[in-house]
Amino acid sequence: MLSELQGIVDEASRLLGAPTTLEDTGFTLVAHSAQGVTLDAVRRGTVAQRVSTPQVRAWFEGFGITTSAGPVRTPADAALGVLPRLCVPARTGDRTHGYLWALDAGGPHPAAGRLDEVAALAARAAVLLARQGRRRESTTTALVDLLSPDTEDVARGVRALSEHDLLDRAPAVAVALVGHTGAADLAHTLWRLPRGVVGDTGPGGTVLLVALRSASDPGPAHRVAADVLARHAERLGAAERAGLVAAVGGPRTDVHAARASWREARWALRAAHPGVVADWAALGVARLLAAEPGADLLLDLGALDDELTRTARAYLDRAGAIAATAAELGIHRQTLYHRLGRVEALTGRSLRDGQDRLALHLALTLRPLLDPAAAHPRSWDRASAA
């Protein structure tokens, strides 16, 4: 669809002999022709930032372009840096879906027949913009459903996204977020998202559901987040740009579990550094603080039996003192070394690494609080029976 819209803009530019752009009704750039020689500040700013300022938008809307059924010529304004323009509203019926703009540097007006051809191009653009708008609304609703805590909402979201053929061939998905630590407005177009990405923008930032080729490669989600982060940054001043952050949650092989990736991305966003895409998988110990009952964070301990769990806890509680740990457990030192080796092998954590030791110790300490089922269920059953 974008390639067809680009073709419409290029053809309109050829017919009018002037640089041409297509914008949606929010004055967000959809496509543009070659820049040409004659430019003004608004044209340069729109192409660079992909959206016009509210002041520029109000200026042009003041000439009635939102309701006009035909072309509208707008004058120059030196204060705004605006050259004269020809605006051809892209309409279907009585609804405007966007605008074809052509710079008019004061040369001869296009022939009436040529304007008719441009109006026909604008009408075709309106159909495509309307179709894209309906599709975006549908996929946005589906994304909201998918991230709902309600299982029926989730199922409805999955069905809707499947109807758009966005996820059927994706073996995994991940959720990326782009937000701001301050009050910056991050409203932006989602026209430029690649296929396989569903996005929504609201007051809290931008959420992106990214289809992955493999659960072991979240790279596409990172690249999409970095691209949206960069596009947001283009619109912000230096002070606001310093608060722009992004994060990616862990991949999920079942799209029904996308909410879990979204929760992880939300947590990672809180730990993100400005201008850098934070990765949930790389947060280390900080991940433990966001754990919920049954969360993946506790899977490090899932392979440990009761004996190895007691051994690891005793060893870490005593700051790695071998003699004191062996005495408490009533075992030989060599037996303790063997068990600790098993703990490392089963958890993938090195007891010689400070961060790994901290993560494992925190997991052992917090597990009974975060996962009640792991808090000695047999003892609880006996106490209840008594």
Q: Does one domain contain both 177 and 274?
A: yes
Q: Does one domain contain both 224 and 328?
A: no
Q: Does one domain contain both 32 and 114?
A: yes
**Among residues 222, 247, 280, which one ends one of the domains?**
280
Output the domain CATH number for residue 121.
Answer: 3.30.450.40
C-alpha dihedral sign at 129, 189, 7, 11: positive
Q: Does one domain contain both 302 and 198?
A: no
Q: Are 252 and 208 in contact (CB under 8 A)?
A: no
188: which DSSP letter?
-
Establish if 270 belongs to a structural domain.
Answer: yes
The reported pLDDT for the residue numbered 290 is 62
What's the gap between Cα 177 and its chain centre? 4
Establish if 145 belongs to a structural domain.
Answer: no
**Among residues 73, 103, 131, which one ends one of the domains?**
131
Q: Does one domain contain both 7 and 126?
A: yes
Rounded CA separation 48/275 (Å): 19
The reported pLDDT for the residue numbered 17 is 85
Please give the structure tokens belonging to residue 198. 């569903």
Q: Does one domain contain both 65 and 105?
A: yes
The reported pLDDT for the residue numbered 377 is 34
Rounded CA separation 152/166 (Å): 20
Q: Is 108 exposed, middle or buried (0-12, 13-18, 19+ CB in 10 A)?
A: exposed
Q: Does one domain contain both 237 and 328?
A: no
Q: Does one domain contain both 39 and 120?
A: yes
Output the domain CATH number for residue 250.
Answer: 3.30.70
Establish if 80 belongs to a structural domain.
Answer: yes
Rounded CA separation 339/333 (Å): 10
The 10s digit of each residue's pLDDT in 172-208 is 999 999 988 776 667 666 767 787 888 888 777 899 9
Q: Does one domain contain both 309 and 232?
A: no
First to last CA, the chain: 69
Please, what's the b/e burial string for 209-243 (b: 16 or more CB within 10 A of its CB; e: otherwise)? bbbbeeeeebebbbebbbbbbebbbebbeeebbee
Rg (CA), the chain: 29
Q: Does one domain contain both 270 and 193?
A: yes
The tally of domains found in the chain comes to: 3
Establish if 36 belongs to a structural domain.
Answer: yes
The full DSSP string for 105-138 is -S-PPPPHHHHHHHHHHHHHHHHHHHHHHHHHHH
The reported pLDDT for the residue numbered 297 is 52
pTM greater than 0.95 (yes/no): no
The reported pLDDT for the residue numbered 381 is 32
Establish if 381 belongs to a structural domain.
Answer: yes
In the chain (386 residues long), the average pLDDT of successive 10-residue segments reads 87 88 87 71 62 80 92 88 89 92 65 79 93 82 91 91 73 91 69 81 85 91 92 80 91 92 90 88 72 53 84 92 94 94 88 86 72 39 30
Rounded CA separation 299/184 (Å): 38
Establish if 148 belongs to a structural domain.
Answer: no
Residue with tokens 């992106």: 208
**Among residues 131, 162, 182, which one ends one of the domains?**
131
Establish if 142 belongs to a structural domain.
Answer: no
The 10s digit of each residue's pLDDT in 267-279 is 888 888 888 899 9
Max intra-chain CA distance, the chain: 98
Q: Does one domain contain both 127 and 9?
A: yes
Establish if 166 belongs to a structural domain.
Answer: no
Q: Does one domain contain both 314 and 258?
A: no
Output the domain CATH number for residue 323.
Answer: 1.10.10.2840
Residue with tokens 């809307």: 61
What residues make up the domain containing 41? 2-131
Rounded CA separation 156/170 (Å): 18
Please enumerate in sequence order all residues whose Cβ is within 8 A of that of 318, keeping only pairs 6 or more positions apart, or say none.
324, 325, 328
